[in-house]
Structure formats: structure tokens, C-alpha cells
């Protein structure tokens, strides 16, 4: 059984630039965690801190209940595969695979056994006595995976190893990694900026932005119960529509509606029941941000909640969407669904540029966020798939708090004399 626990981990570079702030995360045995985020979000730094390749500025790293914060990388019993992981060009593939065991002075019989077992698992037995220069890129990647696997470490980590590969090769390599995790049943941490890869392989996703964890939860929970506008925007394709400067107002039937510059959208009883501190928003000046996913909208002939003007049409997933404007907002709404094997004029019948049309939306699937903090104001309900992880219950810092922390930590420019 293997586990990982990060407690209040911070990393500030010598230059004074913060890389990670107040990272708290627990990873259980047999979990496949995917850390996702844009460039400079802190993904690679997190991998390096866990492996010991970088030191933490503060906080603790525990593996299997043991504090390894001050230990050297070789004492942590973890394996890391990096992007473009370099093989030793002068050594055979056998020796490349055996390197980690030889460094640890493992018996030759054990080295022979593990190398051949791993080579068989990866389908590279016939490559063992070749040199890296004679391998294609997919074979080199398999060797890099095998070099980590042959050591049988307590924890496997991958730092964007498939970046730059074409879609087919990347899918093949992802399948190999998934199968390896199923075989080893060890914790896997995989860092990537590719959301599609993350959704395909992760049992849980950890979303990072500028060194802050925004949310850590299952893909389904992140989609249905985002903690803030960033998570809501990050998870989903096409991206969610966010309407700023809206207000919650009383409706004639005793219900609640969201009023924005292009109209009023009713809130279902289910969503109303989830609004926390409703009295602080209802018929007040306090602003909210309304989130509407494009897949929850529909263009209709009449009876829509608002009127929009078409800009252009696009195809995503199994549906045709129309990019449009409504008031001061740029939106994406669904024109119609199409089958997976559908072919033909994909935008036939869709609104043409500058054409006005009406839009309705599923009021059971609205998202509401505080206009200032950008945190959700909707409580979780029975649809939330509760996990055993405390991380899922931890709310991120507000947008304002993050900006203030980054401002305080930012290196101060020296005044010119």
C-alpha cells in the first residue's frame, strides 16, 4: 500500500517568484491523479517537489506516512518520466532499463528478471540489445516508461511525457500508461495541460492556476459542481458561457430569476434551493456571475429566454454550435445535435451571420458564482458523488485573495537612484 500527502506546501524561487502556494493534497494507493493547468501553473514544480528534485520552501511531503521532505530523490523511492526523457545513447536498451536497479546495487538475477518481465509487458523484448538511436519515438517512450517500472517504486509520476506527439501515438501511449497503472496498482500522478487526456485517464483531477489548487475532485464532480468560475471554464468543451454583472431578482411566481443586460432567466426550484445565503443576493445590488453551458442551451422558434445575434457556426463533439452576441456578452449556444457518424453540410439550417434568433436553456443546469470572489454560491446536493477525500471539501481561495497573496509575494523592483 502506497500513499502521498502534501501539507501546506509552498515553493518560492530564489528570485522571490512564488511557484506553489499552500498546497494540500492526499493521494491513495491505486489512484490515478492528473494534475492539469496552463503554462506556469505549477504542474512541473509540484512533480519536482514530490520527487525531491526541488526543495520546498515550507510544508511537508509524506510518502507512506513517512516525512520525506528533506530526503534526497533516491531515498524517496519514486519514479518520474519527463517530457522527452533522454535515454543513455551508448547503452543498450537492457542497460537503460536496468540502470535504476544497478545504481541501487540490486543482485544481477533480480535485474535480469525484472528487465525481462517489464520488456514483455511493454512489448519491447526484441529491442533489448539495440541502441536508442535505432528506435522510433514510440519505442523510446516505452523504454522510458519501462525504466521507471522496472524499479517497482512506491509512486509513479509523469511530467507531460506525451507533449508534442500526434493524436494517435498519444492515445496509444496513454493506453499503455493506463494498463501499467492497472498492473502495478500504485499511485500515479500525471501532469498535463491537455484536458482531453486528463479526462480520459484520471480518477481525480487536480486543477492548478498560478500555483494555487483550484479544486481536486472527480471529472464528473468538477463538471457539475465547480468551485469557482475558473474550474467551470476549464472543464467542458465548448467552454461555459459566463455572464458577468448579473443580479438575482424575485420572480412573479415567488421564484427567483437571474437578470442580466440582455434579459431575465428563471432559476428552477432545484437551483434556488441550492443557493447559499440567498437573502444576501436577492433583490440586492450584490452581483453574481451566471454560468450556462452551451450544451444546455437550445435555439428555438419562439418562447426563448433571450434574443441573440449570430456570429458564426462551429462543430464540437456531436453537436453544431452557434457563436453569438447577446447584450454585452459573447455566447456559444447549441443549434442541434448530430450523430457520431453524421456527415453532410454540418451547418445546414444554422443561423447565418447577423441573424437574430431566440435561445432557451435548461434551468435545472445553471451555475451561479459570487460576482466579487468568483466562488460558487451553490451548495452541493444529492447529485454530488461524495468521495473519501478531504481535498474535495476544501474551497479554494477567492480570486481577490489569490491576487493579494501574489501581490505580497511578488519580488519588489528596486527603485532607481
Q: pLDDT tens digit string along 245-285?
A: 999 999 988 899 999 999 999 999 999 999 999 999 999 99
d(CA 155, CA 185): 10
Looking at the DSSP bridge assignments, the partners of residue 23 are: 9
Identify any residues that bridge with 155 across adjacent strands, giving them in sequence order: 78
Contact present, 144 and 93 (Cβ < 8 Å): no
Can you give the pLDDT at residue 103? 87
In the chain, % helix, strand, coil (3-state, to 5) comes to 30, 30, 40
What are the tens digits of pLDDT across the range 215-254?
Answer: 999 999 999 999 999 999 999 989 999 999 999 999 988 8
pLDDT confidence of 392, banded at 50, 70, 90?
A: confident
Q: What is the DSSP code (8-state) at residue 24?
A: E
pLDDT tens by residue, 5-56: 999 999 998 888 899 999 999 999 889 999 999 999 999 999 999 999 999 9
Query: What is the pLDDT, as a whole number, of residue 316?
Result: 81
User: Could you give the CA distance from residue 157 to residue 159 in angstroms, rounded to a whole number?
Assistant: 7
At residue 205 the predicted structure's pLDDT band, cuts being 50, 70 and 90, is very high
What is the β-pairing status of strands 155-159 and 188-192? Answer: parallel
Between helix 137-149 and helix 93-103 the angle, nearest 10°, is 20
Identify whether the C-beta of residue 385 lies closer than 8 Å to the C-beta of residue 322. Answer: no
Answer yes or no: is pLDDT of 342 > 70. no
Three cell numbers, residue 206:
487536480
Instruction: Give pLDDT, residue 249.
Output: 97
What's the pTM?
A: 0.91
**Selected residue with higher pLDDT from 183 and 270:** 270
Instruction: Report the alpha-carbon distance of residue 149 to residue 186 in Å, rounded.
Output: 11
Task: Answer whether 209's CB lies under 8 Å from 38's CB.
Answer: yes
SS3 letters for 33-65?
EEEECCCCCCHHHHHHHHHCCCCCCEEEEEECC
pLDDT, tens digit (0-9, with 9 covering 90-100), for 397-408: 999 999 898 888
Judge whether residue 417 has pLDDT over 60.
no
Residue 343 in this model has a pLDDT that exceeds 70: no
φ and ψ of 94, to 5 deg:
-55, -50
Amino acid at each position: 500500500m502506497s500513499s502521498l500527502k502534501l501539507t501546506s506546501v509552498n515553493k518560492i524561487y530564489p528570485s522571490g517568484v512564488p511557484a506553489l502556494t499552500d498546497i494540500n493534497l492526499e493521494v491513495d494507493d491505486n489512484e490515478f491523479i492528473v494534475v492539469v493547468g496552463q503554462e506556469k501553473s505549477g504542474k512541473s514544480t509540484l512533480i519536482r517537489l514530490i520527487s525531491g528534485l526541488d526543495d520546498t520552501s515550507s510544508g511537508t511531503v509524506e510518502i507512506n506516512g513517512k516525512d520525506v521532505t528533506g530526503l534526497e530523490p533516491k531515498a524517496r523511492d519514486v519514479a518520474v518520466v519527463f517530457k522527452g526523457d533522454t535515454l543513455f545513447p551508448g547503452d543498450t536498451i537492457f542497460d537503460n532499463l536496468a540502470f535504476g536497479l544497478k545504481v541501487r546495487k540490486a543482485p544481477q538475477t533480480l535485474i535480469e528478471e525484472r528487465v525481462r518481465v517489464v520488456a514483455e509487458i511493454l512489448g519491447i523484448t526484441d529491442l533489448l540489445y539495440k541502441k536508442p538511436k535505432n528506435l522510433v519515438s514510440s519505442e523510446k517512450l516505452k523504454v522510458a516508461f519501462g525504466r521507471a517500472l522496472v524499479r517497482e517504486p512506491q509512486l509513479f509520476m509523469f511530467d507531460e511525457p506525451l507533449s508534442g506527439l500526434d493524436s494517435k501515438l498519444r492515445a496509444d501511449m496513454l493506453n499503455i500508461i493506463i494498463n501499467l497503472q492497472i498492473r502495478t496498482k500504485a499511485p500515479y500522478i500525471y501532469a498535463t495541460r491537455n484536458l482531453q487526456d486528463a479526462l480520459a485517464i484520471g480518477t481525480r483531477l487536480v486543477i492548478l492556476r498560478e500555483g494555487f489548487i483550484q479544486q481536486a475532485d472527480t471529472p464528473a464532480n468538477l463538471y457539475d459542481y465547480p468551485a469557482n468560475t475558473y474550474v467551470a471554464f476549464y472543464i467542458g468543451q465548448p467552454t461555459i458561457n459566463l455572464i458577468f454583472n448579473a443580479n438575482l431578482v424575485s420572480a412573479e411566481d415567488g421564484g427567483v430569476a437571474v437578470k442580466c443586460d440582455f434579459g431575465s432567466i428563471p432559476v428552477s426550484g432545484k437551483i434556488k434551493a441550492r443557493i447559499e445565503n440567498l437573502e444576501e443576493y436577492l433583490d440586492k445590488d450584490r452581483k453574481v456571475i451566471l454560468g450556462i453551458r452551451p450544451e444546455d442551451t437550445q435555439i428555438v422558434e419562439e418562447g426563448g429566454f433571450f434574443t441573440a445575434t449570430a456570429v458564426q457556426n462551429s462543430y464540437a463533439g456531436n453537436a453544431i454550435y452557434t457563436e453569438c452576441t447577446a447584450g454585452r456578452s459573447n455566447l456559444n449556444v447549441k443549434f442541434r445535435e448530430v450523430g457520431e457518424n453524421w456527415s453532410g453540410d454540418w451547418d445546414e439550417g444554422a443561423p447565418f451571420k447577423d441573424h437574430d434568433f431566440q435561445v432557451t436553456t435548461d434551468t435545472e443546469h445553471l451555475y451561479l458564482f459570487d460576482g466579487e470572489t468568483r466562488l460558487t454560491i451553490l451548495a452541493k446536493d444529492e447529485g454530488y458523488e461524495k468521495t473519501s477525500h478531504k481535498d474535495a471539501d476544501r474551497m479554494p481561495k477567492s480570486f481577490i485573495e489569490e491576487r493579494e497573496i501574489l501581490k505580497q509575494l511578488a519580488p519588489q523592483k528596486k527603485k532607481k537612484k
